[in-house]
Structure formats: structure tokens, C-alpha cells
Amino acid sequence: MKRTLPLVLIVACLAAAGCGGTGAGAGVPVTTGDEVAVKAGSSAGTQGGSGVQALPRFRGTVVTGRDAVRSKVRSSWRRGCPVGPVELRLLRVDYWGFDKRVHQGELIVHRDHARRILVVLGKLFRARYPIQRLKLVDAYGADDHRSMAANNTSGFNCRRVSGTSRWSEHAFGGAIDLNPLRNPYVTRGGRVSPPAGRPYVNRARRAAGMVHANDAVVRAFAAAGWRWGGSWSGSKDYQHFSSTGR
């Protein structure tokens, strides 16, 4: 009996695709993104039968450190904003890109929402919901139009609701815009923002990254108490999820 044990262990190691350090052996499913290499995890059995291959494990953190946020919001925050950098949290998370690879991105939300949004992003990852870009709006000079045109997913941005003097929910770190070009904001009068999102006003489409009523994305946010702008009456903000529902 003693002699059979090592053999069993070796087989188990091969099956787990990760025994003994780097583990990038021949035939082992390793997914490599542009920014990170993710080793296949042992989570295949928990994915609701979505495939026989082991899926990479989601990795996400709330970045700690007194100045973790301050240096990241030089353009998107200024004095007079409704919340300060100390109330915001930087999330660094894995996500599936449109290229079907795992990438790592960043998102800023209010500290009260950080943990539950991390859970939401984990659910989106496991559902393989693709995100084209996940960069802070400072990468676009805090210009929402540029960020949207790049189909960039973002959270905090100290800005007003377009065309009003009212703070956007994004200014509180309580809102996220997902794949905004494929989930545009459409006013009652038919204005589309970003303009290049017009082909996606037709919500019968099923292009990658589009959000639809009751899909895995809407359900993940709903479980966190966040509501979707695509269910508003009148204007529709298909990219927008917020804690207040506004």
C-alpha cells in the first residue's frame, strides 16, 4: 500500500495542473493575458458545467495603503468634490477581455461598496462576461466622452450629470459604466452617447459585452443592491449601474 501512494499523488498533481511551482508543463492549460499569466485553477467543478477545461481563478483585491487612491485620481478628483480620496478604494481585478484572454484592470469606487463590487466583478469573471477595457478615467484625462468612445469600463469620476449642475452618482463612487460603447446612454429624444454606440441602440443584438435585462451581469449587480440604468423609463443608460438606482 505504501508504494502506491506516491503514484496517486503524481497523478493528482498532473490533474490539478499546478503542482510544483511554475507548472507550465506540456499539455497543461495555462491562459496567458497581455498583463498577467493566470494558472488554471481547480474551479472547473464549480462552474455549473460550463466546460470540461479548468477555468482560471478570479483574482481581485482592494488595494490598501494610505495613498493608493490619491495618485490615481489627479484628473478625476479636485477640491469641492462630494467625496474625498480617503473615502475611495482602488480595486485591481482580473477580467476577460474581448480577446478571450484574462487581463488585469483597475476600478475606483466608494469604500462602502468596495467589497461587494469585488464580489460582483468575480461573478462577471466566472460568467465570462467580456470587458474591453478596465482603466481608470484618469487614463483619459477624466474625460467621460473619451473613456466611453474607447469602450472603457469605469467607476469613480467627479463630474456632473451631463447637461445639469447635479453631481453624477460617479462623483460619489457609487456607479459603474460597463462597456459604454456597446451599452450607450440613449435619451428620450434619441440622442446616443457615445455617438459611436448607435449600432448598439438596437438591444435585440447580442454582441459581446452588451447587457440585457435579467442577464448574469444585471443579476450580479442586483445581488449587491445595485440597479441598472437599462431598466429606467424614458432615457435608458444601458452602461450604468448604481447603488442608488439613479
Name the residues that contact Zn ion, by CB under 5 A.
175, 177, 240
Nearer residue to Zn ion within complex by CB, 40 or 114: 114
Q: Are 136 and 173 in contact (CB under 8 A)?
A: no
Shortest distance in whole angstroms from residue 144 CB to Zn ion: 8
Helix (H) or strand (E) holding 16: helix 4-16
Beta strand pairing call for 30-32 and 102-110: unpaired
Shortest distance in whole angstroms from residue 177 CB to Zn ion: 4
Shortest distance in whole angstroms from residue 209 CB to Zn ion: 15
Nearer residue to Zn ion within complex by CB, 39 or 138: 138
Nearer residue to Zn ion within complex by CB, 40 or 175: 175
Contacts for 167 with CB less than 8 Å, ≥ 6 apart: 82, 158, 159, 160, 161
Nearer residue to Zn ion within complex by CB, 98 or 232: 232
In this structure, what are the phi and psi dihedrals at residue 175, rounded to the nearest 5 degrees? -150, 150
Residue nearest to Zn ion (CB): 240
Neighbours of 203 (CB within 10 A): 15
Shortest distance in whole angstroms from residue 25 CB to Zn ion: 44
